[in-house]
Amino acid sequence: MNELVEAAKAAPLFNPLSPEFIRDPYPFYQQLRDNDPMHVTPFGSVLASRHAEASLVLRDKRFGKDFVDRSIRRYGPEIMQEPVFRSMSHWMLQQDPPDHTRLRGLVVKAFTARRVEDMRPRIQQIVDRTLDEVIPHGRMDLIEDFAFKLPVTVICDMLGIPEEHREAFYRSSREGGRLLDPVPLSKAEIAEGNAGNAVSTAYFQHLFELRRKHPGDDLTTQLLQAEEDGAKLSHEELTANIILLFGAGHETTVNLIGNGLLALHRNPDQLALLKARPELITNAIEEFLRYDSSVQLTGRVALEDIEDLGGRRIPKGEAVLCLLGSANRDPAVYPDAPEQLDITRANVKPLSFGGGIHHCLGAQLARIEAEVAIGTLLRRLPELKLDDPDNPEWRPTFVLRGLKRLPAHW
Ligand code: HEM
């Protein structure tokens, strides 16, 4: 395993955990697109860095997740004894049809555009309360004191997690991002993943007891009813998918808000434009997603031999990693200065929420959360300035791209 990590470090084109890459992956992406758009990593996966191949792979039925076989190929059969891997193997995110269709079908109605739009007043209330608390202080960390509270509170509401249980969860929910990175995990990282999984599993069993006794109008109650119906959902699937729903929207949405605010403040003309024309916020959020996506990569496995994908043969079982952040800046799709932030850009269709059957379930929710958070911040604190926009501190993960902190004052 360690030789693989060393090999990744030496690879010049794709070294995703190096400090340079974490700070600014975009020059590396450009090199990949220009010189080796279907680059083979030291782990034998193919990196699709152009929009054409990345978006095709996400939508093509010849590709799937194949999670268990892929994990066994990478780590050996004993990996499926690790509780965190067993849990992940039940996530809808890691399933292929027909199980994927069944699991997603159980929750999809809670995330429709209409249901999510109905949540806007509650989202506004959370943002306003957060700002009421911090405004008198004259300064805050936009990540911990502002962006972080919103998605975690919203998903706690949706899952029916009682207010008095939330504090402990708030602190634990931003760990585990390394599990997604495309570099093999060390034993210590797997152990850490198991520990986090054990804490979440124990809590959710407690919540299940509570909701069995006192059903509510929430997703947990809904899924418990599906489990009782028998064929629809096993207990392991129930627990794993509640953990997925709880985790999937946190750091991703925090990072959309954080990366968006950083991009705006580094482009003062765009910041001034959005303050002057707040109605541009919806398009601005799409542009933030495109410009610096909070999810940089997602993968698929070839379910059959594929003779030609971007000039390369992909044998059955090979993984193709779709570089969403690179596809979002591909000049073939965005011919007009793709490296620049332009909140008025027309036809922005970022790949940041993926595509095909796994297209992000929470996409519309995340958009509205970011719209309300950034729109309200600009309205209520127009004089806010970042302490140090030129030297932001990034979190050390690659797939989930976001800031550790973003101190600001007014
Ligand atoms: C799937 C990104 C917010 C729940 C995905 C995928 C991406 C993504 C790229 C697809 C992965 C793949 O195809 O392999 C994002 C980003 C977000 C965000 C960038 C915020 C900016 C949310 C929120 C929730 C959520 C708020 C829920 C509360 C999910 C779920 C899936 C998913 C359950 C799996 C869907 C499936 O497999 O059918 N997300 N996400 N996400 N997302 Fe999100």
Instruction: Provide the domain limits for residue 320.
Output: 2-409
Q: What is the pLDDT of residues 200-231, one digit of tens each?
A: 999 999 999 999 999 999 999 999 998 887 76
- In the predicted structure, residue 173 carries a pLDDT above the cut 90: no
Residue from 102, 292, 353 to probe ligand 1 pocket by mutation (most atoms less than 8 Å from CB): 353
Say what the pTM is: 0.94
pLDDT of residue 405 exceeding 50, the answer is yes
- ipTM given for this complex: 0.98
Mean pLDDT score across all residues of the chain:
92
Query: Do residues 233 and 223 make contact, with C-beta atoms less than 8 angstroms apart?
Result: yes
Among 100, 102, 360, the mutation site with the greatest number of ligand 1 atoms within 8 A of its Cβ is 360
> pLDDT tens digit string along 378-387?
999 999 999 9
Give the containing element (helix H, strand E) for 394: strand 393-394
Total domains, the chain = 1
3-state SS class at 76: coil
pLDDT mean over 133-155: 96
CATH of the domain at 115: 1.10.630.10
pLDDT at 286 over 80: yes
Q: Give 47-63 pLDDT, tens digit per residue.
A: 999 999 999 999 999 99
Q: Give the residue, by CA position, lying nearest to ligand 1 atom 39.
A: 360
**Residue 292 predicted with pLDDT over 70:** yes
Reading the block at residue 14, the tokens are 């794709």
CA of 7: how far to CAs of 187, 218, 348, 349, in Å?
A: 18, 47, 36, 35
Going by pLDDT thresholds of 50, 70 and 90, the confidence category of residue 174 is low
pLDDT for residue 14: 84
H/E stretch holding 314: strand 312-314
Report CA(218)–ligand 1 centroid distance (Å). Answer: 19
**Each residue of 72-104: pLDDT tens digit?**
988 999 999 999 999 999 999 999 999 999 999
Q: What are phi and psi of 191, to 5 degrees?
A: -60, -40
pLDDT at 12 > cutoff 90: no
Is the pLDDT at 3 greater than 60? The verdict is no
Which pLDDT tens digit goes with each residue over 258-282?
999 999 999 999 999 999 999 999 9
pLDDT over 50 at 1, yes or no:
no
Could you report the per-residue pLDDT of 243-255, keeping only the tens digit for each?
Answer: 999 988 888 999 9
Considering only residues 173 and 256, tell me which one the structure prediction assigns the higher pLDDT.
Answer: 256
Q: Which of 152, 223, 252 to mutate to test the pocket of ligand 1 (most atoms within 8 A of CB)?
A: 252
Q: Which atom of ligand 1 is nearest to the CA of 158?
A: 28
Coil, strand, or helix at residue 357? Answer: helix
Q: What is the DSSP string of 326-358?
A: HHTT-TTT--S-TTS--TT-SS---STT--GGG
Span 96-136, pLDDT tens digits: 999 999 999 999 989 999 999 999 999 999 999 999 999 99
Question: What's the CA angle centered on 131, arms 126 and 132, to 5 degrees?
Answer: 95
Q: For the residues 304-321, what does the mean pLDDT come to?
A: 96
> Looking up tokens 């495309």, which residue turns up?
182
